[in-house]
Amino acid sequence: MSKIFPFQAVRPARAFAGLVASRPYEDYSEAELRAQLDFNPYSFLHIINPGYKFQHEIAGEKRFGMVKNRYLEFKEEDILSKDANSNLYIYKINTREHTCCGIIAAASVEDYENNVIRRHEDTIAQREELFKEYLKVVGFNTEPVLLTYPDNETVDAILKDAMMQRPEYEFGTNRKEIHSLWKISDPEKIKNIQAEFAKMEKLYIADGHHRSASSYLLAKESRDSNPDHTGREPYNFFMSYYISESNLRIYEYSRLIKDLNGHSKEEFLILLDECFRIENRGLNVYLPERKNQFNMYLDGEFYSLYLRKTHFKVTDSLSELDAHILYEKVLKPILGIKDLRKDKRIEYIHGRNDLIEIKTRVDSGEFAVGFGMLPTQIEEIKQIADENLIMPPKSTYIEPKLRSGLTIYEF
């Protein structure tokens, strides 16, 4: 049984919403970031980059304390304020490619602990601990974990009805996106949504494994140190964006490798031939058509790689995953890439970027070879999570990417 809870979000005033909302920090170029910080005093970036006020780079726990100070300043200036009542929040994003819609709500740490909320990616303990300390100091979270659920007609109907009303926010961005947000405050509608989620045995983390793991660590620490723990304290929940499977967009990550691990081009192709049927496509861009097919760019030419059936043995759902096959058959044994997270010889480009970028970066000499594949499907992600397996790093690039600062969850 899955759970979904309303909460009292801290939000920008209507007039400030488009100015406050920001993309993820790492998504900005240095020039964009400086422009936002110089010319938009309302940007949420001022909260998460508090040292800019003093033109000084600040890190560690000192930064955490200053993030909290900037956050409190935004509240004191009435740029941000807390809703009087608990609500569910509908967040809709229209882009040039598609429209997605979901519910921002509080998810249960207990569901995460009991594997009702299932995960498919590994996390790094050091990052979990760092973000837990960050949450503990600042006392809020502004980046929802993406949780996906099977399409549900009843939930869709409730959302559609709520969106007939005037949104709390509606603003455009320089990326030609329209962001809209509505509140669901009617107790009966909230109860009906909760009843539908109670019928779902499982939810899946689409994006935000470290955020959810850190929230769990914070909840466990807070619970253990609180003799009056009831289970209703804010630390027992974490902000999430509940989105139906049909609203998700999943893209692939391409792999770029800096060298051929000491092999000549000819030696490398001969080694690949053991596991793959190879066809030289010349300057014709090749895109895989089905699973177990890969595209490769090497020395000014595109290649198609088809996995030989004699080298394909299914042992579990992970063994069928293209990202895992590429690692097991090429990256590790031939190119010597053993640690996909730490090896400096590998870089990733998500599939929303054109293959021309791969060609450009290989042609420049920065990289020796690039590989691409089809995107992972949601059913593959769910099956791997159900089997308690872990996908290789950078197996999926998932959208939507939400704006920070529109809803904030306080602990």
- The Cα 219–Cα 155 span in angstroms is 29
Q: What per-residue confidence (pLDDT) applies to 53?
A: 77
Contact call for residues 385 and 204 (beta carbons, < 8 A): yes
Q: Which residue has the tokens 């974990």?
A: 145
Residues of the chain with CATH 3.30.1760: 253-395
* pLDDT for residue 310: 85
Tokens representing 22 are 């920001």
Q: Of 94-98, 138-142, 195-199, 348-352, which range is least confident?
A: 348-352
| Identity of residue 147 | L
For position 353, what pLDDT does the model report?
A: 63
Residue 247 pLDDT > 90, yes or no? yes
pTM metric for this prediction:
0.94
**pLDDT of residue 57 exceeding 90:** no
Q: Is the pLDDT of residue 55 over 90?
A: no
The whole-chain average pLDDT of the chain stands at 95
Q: What percent of the chain has pLDDT over 90?
A: 88
Q: Taking residues 21-49, report their average pLDDT.
A: 92
Q: Summarize the confidence of residues 91-116 as an average pLDDT.
A: 96
pLDDT at 318 over 80: yes
What is the pLDDT at residue 309? 84
Question: Model confidence over 352-392: pLDDT tens digits?
Answer: 667 889 999 999 999 999 999 999 999 999 999 999 999 99
CA 366 from centre of chain: 27
Q: Which of 22-31, 86-95, 131-140, 252-261 has the lowest mean pLDDT?
A: 22-31
Report whether 241 contacts 409 (CB < 8 A): no
Strand residues in 13-143 grouped as ranges (E): 80-82, 88-94, 99-108, 117-118, 140-141
Rounded to the nearest 10 degrees, the angle between the axes of helix 209-224 and helix 125-138 is 60
Model confidence band, residue 192 (pLDDT cutoffs 50, 70, 90)? very high
Distance CA 186, CA 192 (A): 10
pLDDT in tens, 146-161: 999 999 999 999 999 9
SS3 state of residue 282: strand
User: Mean pLDDT over residues 293-298, rounded?
Assistant: 97
Name which of 29-38, 164-173, 230-239 the model is least confident about.
Answer: 29-38
Which CATH fold topology does 253-395 show? 3.30.1760
